[in-house]
Structure 1
Amino acid sequence: MDRFLSSYVHNIDAKGRVSVPSSFRQVIASRGIRELFAMRSLSRPAIDVGGPELMEHYERQMEAVDPFSDLYQDLALYAYGDGAYLKFDTEGRIQMTDFIRAHTGITDRVAFVGVKHSFQLWDPERFEAFRSQSRERLQTTLQNRQGFSASAETPE
């Protein structure tokens, strides 16, 4: 396993901890990720979570702009000032902190959603609504492309 794939809903325990899905923990271990970095999604009520490559992605974007510009300052505030590290306990659980809950609306359950090199944390009901809307947008986009079929059939 080398990518975060699928989605899972897990219950949060009375102490605010939740088990990271085992397939996600396998990806984390295979990549040698020691620290998980989390940041609020700019466009969704979700938390983006990943290893060093998530932070490096934003740092590359920052390097491409003038360090004295407003854009650089906004990116720096977003990546560094509005991010957090998530720590695993010995049983593979992370804490659902106020940082996470305030942005996502997560209460007693959390949806873990794989997005290849990282994953997201969602309130399960919000995720289902977003997934449904996203699927509709994708179907419309694909139907509007000439000659593209959105079916699972293999081209001959």
Structure 2
Amino acid sequence: MFQGEFSNNMDDKGRVSIPAAFRDALKSCHAEESIIITRTPHSRCLVAYPIREWKRLQTRINATPSSEALRAYKRIVISSAQEFSPDRQGRVLLSAALREYASLDRAVQFAGAGETFEIWDKGSWDRQLEADLALAQNFELGL
């Protein structure tokens, strides 16, 4: 499970280090090191999927009846998906298209989201977190 928030700097080539805690979760919970990083239609950030979770998403997509909304989702998510294996320093080289979509420049924020994790521009993350605070105040889990 991916949890926690981590900040890293991206270099001029577009390389950023995946947080050690997330790399450890990939190895211990998912028994793999490769991840799929793609766009999401829900926010201007990237989402990283362990291969097993990516396959689950593909299965759900394939089981969904065809529609214009599904085609739009595929164009956003499937078309931008790229597989990455972190190098010895834990870095991945994000494509210009992925960096542009999420407005990634230098300061990058990683946010655990359970079975996936998100990659944000730090300023965008701070603004999103403020907006989420207002929404979360009205949310009850019913525990």
Whole-Å Cα distance in 2 between the matches of residues 141 and 72 of structure 1?
Answer: 28
The C-alpha deviation readout for 1:92-112, integer Å capped at 9, x for no partner, is 111132122111111011101
Q: How does 1:1-156 map to 2 (within 5 A)?
A: 3-30=1-28, 31-66=30-65, 69-142=67-140
Kindly indicate whether the alpha-carbon contact (under 8 Å) linking 1:65 and 1:71 is maintained by their aligned counterparts in 2: no
TM-score normalized with structure 1 length = 0.79
Counting matched residue pairs gives 142
Counterpart residue identity of residue 121, structure 1: I
Whole-Å Cα distance in 1 between the matches of residues 76 and 137 of structure 2?
Answer: 32
Gaps of 5+ in 1: 149-154
Kindly indicate whether the alpha-carbon contact (under 8 Å) linking 2:8 and 2:16 is maintained by their aligned counterparts in 1: yes
Give the number of the structure with larger relative contact order, counting CA–CA contacts within 8 Å between residues 6 or more apart: 2
Larger Rg: 1
Provide closer, same or farther for how the CA distance between residues 103 and 85 of structure 1 changes in structure 2, counting only shifts above 3 A.
Answer: same
Gaps of 5+ in 2: none
The C-alpha deviation readout for 1:73-122, integer Å capped at 9, x for no partner, is 44443443221122311211111321221111110111011001110100
RMSD over equivalenced CA pairs, Å: 2.3
The C-alpha deviation readout for 1:117-144, integer Å capped at 9, x for no partner, is 11010000110110111011110344xx
Kindly indicate whether the alpha-carbon contact (under 8 Å) linking 1:11 and 1:18 is maintained by their aligned counterparts in 2: yes
Counterpart residue identity of residue 83, structure 2: Y
Whole-Å Cα distance in 2 between the matches of residues 34 and 22 of structure 1?
Answer: 12
Q: Percent identity at matched positions?
A: 18
TM-score normalized with structure 2 length = 0.85
